[in-house]
């Protein structure tokens, strides 16, 4: 599989996660960062199993998930 970067955003009511570099819509959510990350990883796996690896955009040969938080908290 190919490399996928995942964006995890913090919102007032929880976290939302989505991959970069995939065709189609894949989203995960959760009450915590880890829940959202696990949910989107499961969604990515299902998406690739259902629609094939051609939905992945990029050229890496190893599947690795990199995540970073985009915090939207306002002080």
Q: What is the pLDDT of residues 12-71, one digit of tens each?
A: 999 999 998 888 889 999 999 999 999 999 999 899 889 888 787 764 433 444 444 444
Helix (H) or strand (E) run with residue 66 in it: strand 65-71
Q: Report how many domains make up the chain.
A: 1
Nearest residue to 48 via CA among 68, 8, 19, 69: 19
- The pTM for the full model equals 0.72
* Residue range(s) defining the domain that contains residue 59: 4-71
Alpha-carbon distance 70 to 36, whole Å?
Answer: 13
Higher pLDDT, 1 or 22: 22
At residue 2 the predicted structure's pLDDT band, cuts being 50, 70 and 90, is low
Nearest residue to 42 via CA among 23, 50, 21: 50
- Residue 63 vs residues 10, 22, 23, 60: alpha-carbon distances, Å: 25, 13, 16, 8
**What is the model's pLDDT at position 58?**
61
């Amino acid at each position: 599989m190919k490399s996928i970067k995942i964006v995890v955003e913090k919102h007032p009511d929880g976290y939302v996660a989505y991959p970069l570099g995939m065709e189609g819509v894949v989203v995960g959510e959760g009450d915590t960062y880890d829940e959202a990350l696990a949910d989107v990883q499961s969604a990515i796996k299902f998406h690739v199993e259902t629609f094939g690896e051609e939905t992945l955009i990029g050229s890496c040969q190893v599947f690795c998930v990199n995540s970073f938080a985009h915090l939207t908290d306002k002080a």
